[in-house]
Structure 1
Amino acid sequence: MELILDGYIVMGKMVRKTKPVKERKKGAVDPELVQAAVIEVLVKKQKTLTSAKKYGIPRGTLRGYVTKAEKQNMEIELLPLSFFSPAYVTRKIFTEEQENALASAATCLQIRSRERNCNENQNAAGEDWYRGFMARHSQLAVRAPEATSLGRATAFNRVTVGKFFEKLGEVYRRHRFTAQNIWNVDETGLSTVHKPGKIVAVKGQRQVGKVTSAERGQNVTMCVCVSAMGNSVPPMLIFPRKKCPEILLKGAPPGTIAHGSETASGWMCNELFLVWMNHFISQARPSKANPVLLILDNHISRYSSELLELAKENGVVMLTVPPHTTHKLQPLDRSVMYPLKAFYNRESATFMTQHKCKTISMYNVSELCGKAYPKALTPENIISGFRSTGIFPFDPNVFKDHEYLSSYVSDRPHPLDQDVLVPPSPVSGSRKDDAASQFTDCDNATQSLLGLPSDVDLLADKSFSELVDISPFPKGSPRKQIRRAVKKKSTEILTDTPVKERIRQEEELKADRKCKESQITRSKQATISRVKVNPIMLRWSLMMIVTTV
């Protein structure tokens, strides 16, 4: 075992001694035998010990069921069979079928946790039931979910992903790309304030701290590009300053280029991505005879006519992934960026331990990045990212049905797809019922597509309908037809001639609009300057008026 105590590594051998735990035989007695024994004791007036020996039931268990049955205000023969089933100390609220349905739904849907406070008056499931339920279903565990925006949850659906793989298949049919000619590029931020890892501390202590450089740090953008073969292009570092001396690249990965940014954020822009494209072409050496595929996101820096012309002249085919789906469809996000950030934070923590009372600045980022980069960008991690996204090897069915369930909340009919939009009548029923009735056909189609039972099956299956009543599927409000100032982006091949011409026309319209706005601004300023009154003349006029009065 390796233990890190404030930067020092302590080696030791872990010794584990576990005491064997005897498995408890819960529910070993057949409920039908318990029911027959209780009837003999209460109805036929048999002794408890005699009936217990006859049916092979422990005497204490039978006595407990007899006492429980005597408190009921109904005949013994009319009691349901579930009455004679063991409830243990876990207070099982649901039947075995309902619990299995709940466990299946939790496994597939990852439903939110319910309130654990027990309400005895409403016979609600509480803390005791929760502990017993988790013990009976060992495949479930309580985990901290990763924050996922609503846009990402709803954008990753089968239709959007299908369009991406359709475009990807079209590109493959055109050029027959091999693994060494398929690339993916993305940016990530390296902050001078790292995220501390776990440390050993006193149990029960409220505040456990770890020293960092500052409360807020400066962000350095790193542009990373990898291929499906496991190779990578030397990265590009963008520093939030206009001038970029060579000292900033001290300790950086070999071949790294650096560039300054005119903005304080240090983010990627059109001019900087054009610089990176020239760097990529010099490293990957594409040509029209040997083209390469470059998969990237929908950032505004990718939409430049000058950039697309450069890419097309050098045989770079640019394919964008759908918006808000990079967490699933981009290889770098799947298997490279997280290890890179983890190793960078680890190297930053080591730096803070070895250099007491010294903070991490922009001059140290390249050195820390140079140590973390080769550890994270291994061929295994890179190839795994392309394989898990279905990009290479090409696999349009890499995502299972349950992975699309997060988009169920927004699976609603589009207003343009409906022939007639009939507004809900105020006297027809509740607003919630009217909205739900509009989505019936869409819901059934989605449930059949994802393998969920349809509305008819839900009505037939009482246990599942009760589960839906407990934790209903969330559903968005009806879609509204709105006019967007900016057209919503989608997956497309940017280097295709129609797309490239459309982007060029959009740039011309934007330049004309900016020119007109500047002309209007200048004319307003000229008008204000003409009507501006001389303050000396205004003061003299006021003095004359006062003197006259």
Structure 2
Amino acid sequence: MRQKQVNPASKYRMYSPTAMTNAYQAVREMRLPVKTAARQYGVPQTTLRDRVLGRIDPETTSSGPQALLSQHEEAVFVEHIKAMAQLGYGYSRSELIDQASNYAVFLGKRDQEHPLSDRWYRSFMDRWPELKKVKPRSLVNYRAQATSKEKVTAYFDDLKSALLKDNLMDKPEHIYNVDEKGIQTEHSPPYIICAESSTPAITSARTCITTILGCGNALGTQIPPYFIFKGKRMRSELLEGASPGTQGTVTESGWSNSDVFLEYLDTHFLKYVQRPSEDQPLLLIFDGHKSHITIPVINWAKEHNVSLFVLPAHTSHVLQPLDVGCYGPMQRIYNAQCHKFLRENPSSKITRYDVCSLACNAYTSALSVVNIRSAFKRTGIYPFNPEVILDTQLAPSKAYLVPEPETDIHDIHEAHSNATTAPQPAEFFKTAEKFITDKQTFEHKQPNKTISSIVSGKSITSPTVEAQIITHKSETKSKPSSKSGNVKKCSIPSSTSSKRQRVHSPQPGPSRQTATKALSAESDYSSGDEITDDEKCCACHLFQPKELQNCVSVVFTKWAQCDYPACGHWTHLKYCCKQSVVRLHDEFFCPCHDNTYTEE
């Protein structure tokens, strides 16, 4: 029978890497003998001697073959990975391995025929535990470009001036944020418990959008939701199951507009704000959507002693409290409510009549006192603190800033400014990051003069900004709208010398055919001119075929012009003749010339 060991074998490597480093420095700098230093710091004598004699790299912390890249070379690579991730252009697993292989080839430690493998990747990630594989959140490029250090700093300077002007630095109950949130009848299923690796979840079909106007103050008080349904007539059934104080209206699109926003402020917002009288000013913060920036809204605000402050354009993901801390939890709660509703109710679909009760529960839970206070704190509004906006939140904008002529791309992140001791790695990553300089040059252009550039990050109730808004709107009205010119006016070719301009009129293309919408001959023209005989079909003597007169959808009618000498009549293809297609260089004769008419 085997005897139990009295002194079992000691565990591998009982010393710390720091002790080995201190022992190595004692031998090198203090000239201690290897044996004395090993005994003093509790490290193996042979291991210390191998490092002193240069047989093993002093920075080695694990046994086995040495890593392909030195610790300094890997450190430069890690800083490059971090910088690219902060800019929003991080590497995936396969891209990181490819980049490391090119890096090793550049340093002369590998050739093109022997790239690095997944095994190297796993060892590399073990050596650098600060790196992790994560799923990044999507960030639209114009949001990344807009959220720059300069714009955020200017925003906080203007916000501080607005708070001091109305003496609201210590009055959170008078600082409000309002924002829209769109919800669908189709929801994203939550995580569920099941035995299979993949399983379906029943959802309702997407029908129409419903908008919620939500609001809360920095003290944590929420204002009841205001719903905007898609439709033409408001029904009381749409608000069934609503929480107390909930109101709503309808629009054709289900989105808010300037009239709805003004109605919300006047009939809903004022009803629930916390202030003793209108002598106490309020600060209302919102984004720069065009429905918020209107002269009636500004006049309403001045009448009721409300200061309107507009966030910088495309920065709501960082600076708007409701977006930062409330609407994300609200969407998750709404998804869970919809999932539970479909399971517990006989109906297997969610309609707009069910949206209000489901969304009210989510709204009440998500816009809690804790969430609203935390949201205002995370955005630096109350307590007023610009420092809460981290540099990592602003880092993606650096890819769109035009550097100074002598500025090196490595100045974008601080880590590379300290990596000048290794010229080879620095040169490699300078080439790898050249696309950032190209992107900076490509994205740099003069901003358009829009209403957003005037009100972005400013109080629009101030006289100066209000005057600029009035001037801009008057200039916009005096200029022809570019959107109204999107519909091109084309002429119907005819044998006469005069060609009338018509909206949606047919014009021959390369195949000598023309296409037009199925139009009503009575009302679909923007001009009041009558359609002449030359513009009608020579067979049915109508501009629109009889078969399409009661059609309610968009249908394109094909025309062809007769090639008979001195004729030039236009005819509906398919409806008024036997041919349905006329191709390039084909001859076509209208039904007026039966003796020469031939089928295709």
TM-score by length of 2: 0.66
Stretches of structure 2 that go unaligned for 5 or more consecutive residues are 1-10, 25-43, 102-109, 490-499, 503-525, 542-566, 570-589, 594-600
Cα distance in 2 for residues equivalent to 1:498 and 1:350: 52
Matched residue of 1:363: which SS? helix
Match of 1:200 in 2: 193
Q: CA deviation at 1:127?
A: 1.8
Match of 1:342 among 332, 336, 353: 332
Deviation per residue, 1:141-186 (Å, 9 max, x gap): 2110001011111211110001110110110121111100000011
Aligned structure 1 segments of 4 or more residues deviating by more than 6 angstroms: 22-34, 514-518, 521-524, 534-543
Deviation per residue, 1:84-116 (Å, 9 max, x gap): 957756862332234445555656763623433
Match of 2:133 among 142, 150, 164: 142
2:287 is the alignment partner of 1:321: no
2:144 is the alignment partner of 1:180: no
Deviation per residue, 1:292-314 (Å, 9 max, x gap): 00110010101110111001110
Cα distance in 2 for residues equivalent to 1:404 and 1:487: 24
2:190 is the alignment partner of 1:190: no
Match of 1:241 among 231, 247, 261: 231
Stretches of structure 1 that go unaligned for 5 or more consecutive residues are 1-21, 35-54, 66-76, 414-437
Q: CA deviation at 1:494?
A: 1.0
Amino acid in structure 2 at the alignment position of 1:224: G
Please say which structure displays the higher CA radius of gyration: 2
Cα distance in 1 for residues equivalent to 2:346 and 2:539: 65
Alignment of 1:354-393 (within 5 A): 354-393=344-383
Contact 1:274 1:307 in 2 (8 A): yes
Aligned pair count?
457
Match of 1:496 among 448, 457, 462: 462
Cα distance in 1 for residues equivalent to 2:194 and 2:345: 22
Match of 1:484 in 2: 448
Match of 2:203 among 201, 212, 218: 212
Cα distance in 1 for residues equivalent to 2:427 and 2:475: 57
Match of 2:272 in 1: 283
Matched residue of 1:110: which SS? helix
Amino acid in structure 1 at the alignment position of 2:420: L
Q: CA deviation at 1:407?
A: 1.2
Alignment of 1:352-501 (within 5 A): 352-412=342-402, 439-441=405-407, 447=412, 451-454=414-417, 457-460=418-421, 462=423, 465=426, 468-469=429-430, 472=433, 474-475=436-437, 476-478=439-441, 481-482=445-446, 484=448, 486=450, 488-489=452-453, 490-501=456-467
Matched residue of 1:209: which SS? coil
Amino acid in structure 2 at the alignment position of 1:271: D
Contact 2:400 2:444 in 1 (8 A): no
Cα distance in 2 for residues equivalent to 1:460 and 1:83: 19
Cα distance in 1 for residues equivalent to 2:45 and 2:303: 86
Matched residue of 1:441: which SS? coil
Structure 1's 539 and 330: CA in aligned 2 closer, same or farther, altered over 3 A? Answer: closer
Cα distance in 1 for residues equivalent to 2:281 and 2:464: 19
Q: CA deviation at 1:527?
A: 7.1
Deviation per residue, 1:320-345 (Å, 9 max, x gap): 11111111101111110111011111
Matched residue of 1:349: which SS? helix
Contact 1:185 1:226 in 2 (8 A): yes
Structure 1's 298 and 452: CA in aligned 2 closer, same or farther, altered over 3 A? Answer: farther
Contact 1:93 1:124 in 2 (8 A): no
Cα distance in 1 for residues equivalent to 2:156 and 2:320: 12
Q: CA deviation at 1:254?
A: 1.2
Contact 2:216 2:223 in 1 (8 A): yes
Cα distance in 2 for residues equivalent to 1:501 and 1:471: 48
Amino acid in structure 1 at the alignment position of 2:229: F
Amino acid in structure 2 at the alignment position of 1:282: K
Contact 1:192 1:360 in 2 (8 A): yes
Q: CA deviation at 1:351?
A: 0.5
Structure 1's 482 and 156: CA in aligned 2 closer, same or farther, altered over 3 A? Answer: closer
Amino acid in structure 1 at the alignment position of 2:166: H
Q: CA deviation at 1:404?
A: 2.2
Amino acid in structure 1 at the alignment position of 2:70: T
Deviation per residue, 1:45-85 (Å, 9 max, x gap): xxxxxxxxxx8549xxx9xx9xxxxxxxxxxx9x8754995
Matched residue of 1:301: which SS? coil
Matched residue of 1:302: which SS? coil
Match of 2:68 in 1: 93
Matched residue of 1:394: which SS? coil
Q: CA deviation at 1:452?
A: 4.8
Structure 1's 85 and 148: CA in aligned 2 closer, same or farther, altered over 3 A? Answer: same
Cα distance in 2 for residues equivalent to 1:90 and 1:272: 70
Match of 1:308 among 292, 295, 298: 298
Matched residue of 1:238: which SS? strand
Match of 2:257 in 1: 269
Q: CA deviation at 1:481?
A: 4.5
Cα distance in 2 for residues equivalent to 1:108 and 1:536: 67
Structure 1's 463 and 325: CA in aligned 2 closer, same or farther, altered over 3 A? Answer: farther
Structure 1's 531 and 182: CA in aligned 2 closer, same or farther, altered over 3 A? Answer: same
Amino acid in structure 1 at the alignment position of 2:406: T
Contact 2:318 2:393 in 1 (8 A): no
Structure 1's 333 and 93: CA in aligned 2 closer, same or farther, altered over 3 A? Answer: farther
Contact 1:109 1:402 in 2 (8 A): no
Structure 1's 535 and 210: CA in aligned 2 closer, same or farther, altered over 3 A? Answer: closer
Contact 2:144 2:397 in 1 (8 A): yes
Match of 2:530 in 1: 529
2:298 is the alignment partner of 1:298: no
2:127 is the alignment partner of 1:152: no
Structure 1's 27 and 220: CA in aligned 2 closer, same or farther, altered over 3 A? Answer: same
Matched residue of 1:306: which SS? helix
Alignment of 1:27-66 (within 5 A): 56-57=45-46
Structure 1's 304 and 453: CA in aligned 2 closer, same or farther, altered over 3 A? Answer: same
Contact 1:253 1:373 in 2 (8 A): no
Q: CA deviation at 1:283?
A: 1.9
